[in-house]
Chain A
Amino acid sequence: ETGVTQTPRHLVMGMTNKKSLKCEQHLGHNAMYWYKQSAKKPLELMFVYNFKEQTENNSVPSRFSPECPNSSHLFLHLHTLQPEDSALYLCASSRTVDNEKLFFGSGTQLSVL
């Protein structure tokens, strides 16, 4: 148990669906992240939030829309995804953006049909 909880663990969606991924951390951290993990590729940073403000958007397509209502919760809203978006989506948090230790959730395994 890392203190970072992601739901759902698995998600199958069609290309026209709208769905949301949820992340919650109970560690009192101020920075939260979304990463994409595809087979045989490095972890790809998608978004960074520091004290609820988005500080980094790593050229992510607009069909991925993040939301951070408070420092403990992070969402990733998905709309009109493509099959190549199928991957493991990992949420992480850290005490601050310049803190070295990331705590990851177990991820959402997403399949886009």
Chain B
Amino acid sequence: GQNIDQPTEMTATEGAIVQINCTYQTSGFNGLFWYQQHAGEAPTFLSYNVLDGLEEKGRFSSFLSRSKGYSYLLLKELQMKDSASYLCAVRLSGNTPLVFGKGTRLSVIA
């Protein structure tokens, strides 16, 4: 079976930096995705990593290590609006749908 692990919940302070980890053990790998989902809203695409290394996009960065089966999403200068669930998802091969983790619920407090 496919296994994707993320922490269930995290809390961080406004203005701080938080790192949300995702580890995966899957039968194939063709890319890793991060989505953000605010309560009652649609998940929205944040990032996509297929090669090792760090991809930076404004306050958000995503890192991938394929050899370790590990990724993280780094959020800097946290804002209250960053309170949401963050979903890690793996594509197993070129034309298969994504396999999602359970998501990490991030609460940003003042």
Contact = CB atoms under 8 A, between A and B. Distances in A.
Contacts of B100: 42-43
Report whether over half of chain A's contact residues are helix, strand or loop; otherwise say mixed: loop
Contacts, number: 52
Interface stretch (A12-20, A73-81, A94-102): A94-102
Interface string B24-57: 0000000101010000111111001000000000
Interface residues on B, range: 20 to 34
Interface stretch (B65-73, B74-82, B90-98): B90-98
A101 B33 CA distance: 9
Nearest to A41: B102
A105 B42 contact: yes
A48 interface: yes
A42 B4 contact: yes
Interface string A24-45: 0000000001000000111101
A45 B90 CA distance: 13
Given A40-B102, A41-B102, A42-B4, A104 B97 contact: no
B87 A43 contact: yes
Interface of B: 4, 8, 31, 33, 35, 40-45, 48, 87, 89, 91, 94-103
